[in-house]
Amino acid sequence: MMIEALIAVALIGALVTFMAPNRIAGKLAFAISLVPAALSIWMFTAFDGSGNALLDGTLAFESHLEWIQLGEYSISWFVGVDGISLPLVVLTTILTSLAIMSSWTPIDDRESQFYGLILFIEANLIGVFTALDFFLWFIFWEAVLIPMYLLIGIWGGPRRKYAAIKFFVYTNVASLVMFGAFIALIFGLGDGVTSFALPEIANAMLNGGPEGLFGLEGTTLASVVFIAMFLGFAVKVPVVPFHTWLPDAHVQAPTPASVLLAGVLLKMGTYALLRFNFTMFPDQVEAYAVPIAAIAVISVIYGAMLALAQTDLKRIVAYSSVSSMGYVILGLVAYTQFGVGGATFQMVSHGLISGLMFMAVGVIYNATHTRLVTDMSGMADRMPVAVGILVAGAFGYMGLPLMSGFAAEYFIFFGAFGADFPYAPLFTSLAMFGIVIVAGYLLFALQRAVFGPYELETDYEVSRAPLHDIAPMFVLLGLIIALGVAPDLIFQMITDAVDPILSGGDL
Amino acid sequence: MEGAFSYAPAIAAFPLAAFVVALTFGKWMPRKGAIAGIAATAGSLLFSLWMLAAVASGEVYHETLYEWTAGEAAGEVGDGIEFTFGILIDPLSALMLVIVSLVAFLVHIFSLGYMNAEGETGLPRYYAGLGLFTFSMLAFVYADNLLMAFMFFELVGLCSYLLIGFWFRTRSAPSAAKKAFLVTRFGDYFFLIGVVAIAATFGTVAFAGDDSFVAAAETAIADGDTLFGFDAQTWVTITGLLVLGGVLGKSAQFPFHTWLPDAMEGPTTVSALIHAATMVAAGVYLVARMFGYYALSPTALAIIAFVGGFTALFAATMGVVKDDIKQVLAYSTISQYGYMMLGLGVGGYVAGVFHLMNHAFFKALLFLGAGAVIILMHHEQDMWKMGGLKEKAPVTYYTFLAGALALAGIIPFSGFWSKDEILYDALIVGLNEPVIMAAYAMGLVAVFFTGFYTFRMVFLTFHGEPRSEAAEDPHPVGWAVKVPLLTLGVLALVAGVANLAPVAKILGVDIVFLEHWLDGEYGAVEGLTYSAYGELLAYETGVIGSEQLTILVAAGLSLLLAFSGAGLAWKLYNVPEPVAHKERLGSARRTIENNYYQDEYQVWLARGFTLPLSRAADRFDQTVIDGSVNGISTASLFGSSWVKRLQTGIVTNYAALIVAGFIALLVFLGVYGGWF
């Protein structure tokens, strides 16, 4: 019942915060959020699962209750974690707590609603990473959108309505495509499947696959569903060319929403790709490896090139997320232990590093009320600690060894270089050029904004950031270095869950 | 001595601790963290000497200390692979540990006089940077595998970024720091592909032992394997050259040398550390560390030799027109590392390492000497404003002169012996290999330029009449400046004794200690010795007449050229009121003064090509990609705006529609339901 406890605390906490007075809402929400954080860390230490959740693995903290009978299909409350999902759950709970603390300074309007929505998102995110019934999973998946839509639309910047609607409609349309495709697949699987439980569906897919539907052959149906679901998740990740909602959403979103958006929401897309496309469709992965690898390389390079053209610090970090997510796709399509494991590792690592970067940019924004690198110079002079952390985060983003980003990228590169798909070494080498461009745009931004003589175009008096702005960043930096020095804190757990995928369920 | 090695991790751990202490408590400490750094590097030096003694007594150390991660190797091997942190202490790394910790220690002491005494702010950050720098380099030096080496190689790059950009309130320092990191990162891109490729090919990244990638490559070549679609020999060359990308970047070899002169924006003490013992030395050291791998590929070696010879000459010619004392030294560094590459590329492993050692001492000496000059001159670096410092600062002058004589390669100073050995090794190989001969010729011509720019610098700085008020009334320097200078001055004079190869061969006495050392006559790891490399090398050597004659010809030629260069500088600049004489260069002047437009094209690549390309991509993204997304939404909004006209909001309209609908429904049901 641990997972239920996590979700329930966050949900009830959200309600309580909604009704709390504005002035205590921030502290209250933070205190509440510590409960799921502590519980999930305990789950992490007590984790006793093995194998993959969908492929006959031993689930940890499993609970399975029949819920609704829908015609021939049963829907159940079915949750549990394996080595892939648990690190993401811990990432979610920790990042939520830190994001709440980082909101204390910038959020000064309708606080109780703001913090309530953050906790509501947390509950749904935990649901997404733990649900093992498609229907249940989809409810959480969709429910994440609503609070994020409100966070951007109410507390966002000048173009918040445009950004919020774009985010909502774009990802929602994508979800519809994915949903339709998956339902078609379930019908196509015929009598072999009697519930929406993902392990059952995965099993059916790996033992024979769909029989066919609407006059389509089984294999054709599988390919169509694979592509449709890939497109559906691609928007969420996002991969080029479905990425344009992301910079708009990030630039308009308040800092804590950006932290969660980049830190966790993007991982929903890659997590779903791994759980659905890359677990259930090994034949299609093999067949479409080259185009997917090409998309990955384009996302990495093109995303990085876009980041290079920006002058808004938040846009830079936003586009760099597109680039980083490209690495995840490359790792997935490599279909090797280090590739897929590294992709999962990168999900966690990028969550921490991008969270740190958005917080650091946010702290500078709180002080200067601008994010344009052209409007400021020499901020290191006035905010040495915050800038020090920003520099550390930037090097983390560049993949500096002994920080988690390097471990993630190295795993992916190593896993992809020796992969089986055609021209794997070439694709990998091309994607690796991202490590040069990322250094280019981040160092260029640092040079202009935080170094040089102190100048500021706005009329604000810059002072040092308060401790509650700095503390969450130190926590993230500590985690980033810990995972960089000792990736096996989570990597062995991840590969244990990845191995059954690569062997097609036989272990 | 077995027990000595269990303390090996401390060598790197001391400066790491100093980094943490200086960063967190430096503000409140006396001397702002300097004491922690001095204590830590002193500890590293003592422990390194202990390791050296242990190796001298016949022991070596190769131990895996920590498993970073492990998993299944993909690719050619498909077995398990482990990525670990381990320590390899053999003659090469033991020697390098001593060099690095000694130079770092002296730089820390010198900093007391250079940074603390000058009232700098941000000193805790400075000493923290030095500590992290020393830590990264020492860990790199005794890394026992390629991935660990890469990781600390990158950290060395970070530290140089932080220290070059130490004076971040200026415009130029952050720019130089960025350039240093970016150019070397470009090299490291290839290096990382090399690491990944080697790991994916051989399933191991270990430098030493039976399961090293070097041994695996040797076996693959012997078995005639096909690796990644290439025959094994070609693949070893490709991967070796990829790794070499990182070497060229860090060691500032052509065409990645452009960052180094800019890096003079950092404090002079940092330059001393970067040039002598850390950043730049890391590249060449890596070639020496995995020399067995390069020895398998004659093509890779020839490229190393040629790039080295070319860089030696290319950089030396640029050094002759510089006016800033630190700029002259910067180009001399590029040139000298070119010699080391040339030495290694022709199979002269001992010669290359020998020059690495000697250069560490005399270049640290010259930079610290330049630092002393800058203190004397009240922070003036333009040599044309100096002059006449000889009498006023004798300690600085004579130690600087010792360094200059070593740099110019004048017998019997240390630089002569190692440079001569490199040129000799290049010559005997070059007699059979035209490419190597060309590399040798470039290295030889560079000797002339080296002699010239070195003594031009000495004469302009110290001789003649003072040419500014500062030079007439220099600021005194303290013991913290003099002690490191004297220590290094002695080393610049005598370090050559380590390997008097030409004397040994001509007189037939056994005085090639370094060769014995690197050949594992004390302790050594199997396969990592000079003779083991010699067996892998495919080079044929020749002689002119006899071996003795060849030695004399080689040494005579390089001495002659060094003396002519120095002599020309004497004639032109050792006068009371020297002038530039740059017009004598004629049409070449502009090209050389602009550094052969190397900076221009690289800056153009960044600013003139990549940046506009990224802006074009951004416009494409905003208009075409995002435009289609918004276009679809506009289309649907437009469609719905027609549909919504049904919703007039007038109740009577709705009532009429409801009635009409009801009637239509009735008619429909009536017709199909059979009511009529």
CB A336 within 8 A of CB A415: yes
Strands (E), A249-332: none
Interchain contact, A401 vs B152, CB within 8 Å: yes
Contacts of B178 in chain A (CB under 8 A): 443-444, 446-447
- Chain B touched by A488 (CB under 8 Å): yes
CA distances from B560 to A26, B386, B412 (A): 79, 29, 14
Q: In this complex, which of B74, B189, B610 lies closest to A415 when CB atoms are compared? A: B74
Q: Report the pLDDT value the prediction gives residue A505, as an integer from 0 to 100.
A: 61
Is A368 an interface residue toward B (CB < 8 Å)? Answer: no
Average pLDDT over residues B663-667: 82
pLDDT at residue number B675: 60
Q: Which of B161, B165, B196 sits opposite A414 (nearest CB)?
A: B196
The residue with tokens 């030409």 is: B502
Domain boundaries, chain B: 1-296, 302-585, 602-672
Residues with Cβ within 8 Å of A499's Cβ and at least 6 positions away in sequence, in order, are A51, A52, A337, A507
Interface test with A, best of B16, B19, B68 (most A CBs within 10 A): B68
The CA distance from A231 to A227, in Å, is: 6
Statement: residue B574 has pLDDT above 90: no
Q: Measured between alpha carbons, how far is B347 from B335 in angstroms, rounded to an integer?
A: 19
Mapped onto helix, strand or coil, the DSSP state of residue B63 is: strand
B378 touches chain A (CB under 8 A): no
Out of A266, A281, A296, pick the residue that ends a domain: A281
User: B8-23: per-residue pLDDT in tens?
Assistant: 999 999 999 999 999 9
The structural domain count of chain A equals 2
Residues of B in contact with A337 (CB under 8 A): 71-72, 74
Cα separation, B490 vs B361, whole angstroms: 9
A408 contact residues in B (CB cutoff 8 A): none
Residues in chain A within 8 Å Cβ distance of B23: none
Same domain, A400 and A506: yes
| Separation of alpha carbons B629 and B669, rounded Å | 44
- The answer to whether A218 contacts chain B (CB < 8 Å) is no
DSSP B451-485: HHHHHHHHHHHHSS---SHHHHSPPP--HHHHHHH
- pLDDT tens across A276-289, in order? 999 999 999 999 99
Within this chain, do residues A237 and A378 fall inside the same structural domain, yes or no?
no
- Cα(A461)–Cα(A459) distance, rounded to whole angstroms? 7
For residue B629, which of A62, A121, A235 has the smallest C-alpha distance? A235
Over 60: is that where the pLDDT of A265 sits? Answer: yes
Examine the fold and report which residue of A253, A281, A309 is the final residue of a domain before the chain moves on: A281
The confidence score (pLDDT) of residue B2 equals: 59
Q: Which tokens in the block code for residue B83?
A: 């990525």
How confident is the model over B375-393, as pLDDT tens digits?
Answer: 888 888 888 888 888 888 8
The pair of three-digit structure tokens given for residue A256, joined into one six-digit string? 């804590």
pLDDT at res. A503: 84
Same domain, A295 and A440: yes
Tokens of A213: 């539907």
* Residue showing tokens 């693949």: B235
Q: Which of B170, B174, B614 sits opposite A306 (nearest CB)?
A: B614
Lowest-confidence region among A39-48, A88-97, A369-378, B15-24 = A369-378
Instruction: Name which of A252, A287, A56 is nearest A166 in CA terms.
Output: A252
| Residue positions counted in chain B | 676
Q: Which amino acid is at B160?
A: S
Model pTM score? 0.93
A408 with A345: CB under 8 angstroms?
yes
Q: How many C-beta atoms lie closer than 10 Å to residue A177's C-beta?
A: 17
pLDDT band per the 50, 70, 90 thresholds, residue A296: very high
Neighbouring CB atoms inside 10 A of B141's CB total: 32
Whether A316 and A260 share a structural domain: no
Determine the structural domain holding residue A346 and report its residue range: 288-507
Q: Provide the pLDDT confidence category of residue B289 given band limits of 50, 70 and 90.
A: very high
Contact B189 A436 (CB under 8 A): yes
* Three-state DSSP class for residue A132: coil
Tokens (6 digits) for B327: 């700029």
Confidence of residue A316 (pLDDT cuts 50, 70, 90): very high
